[in-house]
Amino acid sequence: MWTLKIAVTLYKGLDYNSVITERVLKDLVIMLEKEYELDIEFNAIDIPLVDEASFPKIVVNEKIIVEGRIPGVDEVVDAVFDIIKEKTPLGPAGFPLPLTANTT
């Protein structure tokens, strides 16, 4: 099991796109946790009284990946796996090594 913590944060307004995005992200996080045994922390933060054009905004480990529209599932999945690639060493076959493995 991965010991890498992935944080997915949704900043949402009171608009339709924000509501749909929250539903999509909740289901996607559950799927990624079950299928890939990832440790994902999901937070949805309501931002009332702000220009709705900039919401929803999705941040994965401090990187904005989508702003102002409903994301594609592939965008979120790619962002999560990009974080894994950045934070974990790759083995000889190109697959991530466990974080507890000796990489020297």
| Nearby residues of 61 by Cβ (< 8 Å), 6 or more positions away | 6, 7, 83
Query: 7-52 pLDDT, tens per residue?
Result: 999 999 888 999 999 999 999 999 999 998 889 999 999 988 666 6
Distance CA 41, CA 2 (A): 13
Distance CA 77, CA 18 (A): 18
Distance CA 5, CA 27 (A): 18
pTM attached to this predicted model: 0.78
Domains and CATH numbers, the chain: 5-87 (3.40.30.10)
> How much is the mean pLDDT over the chain?
84
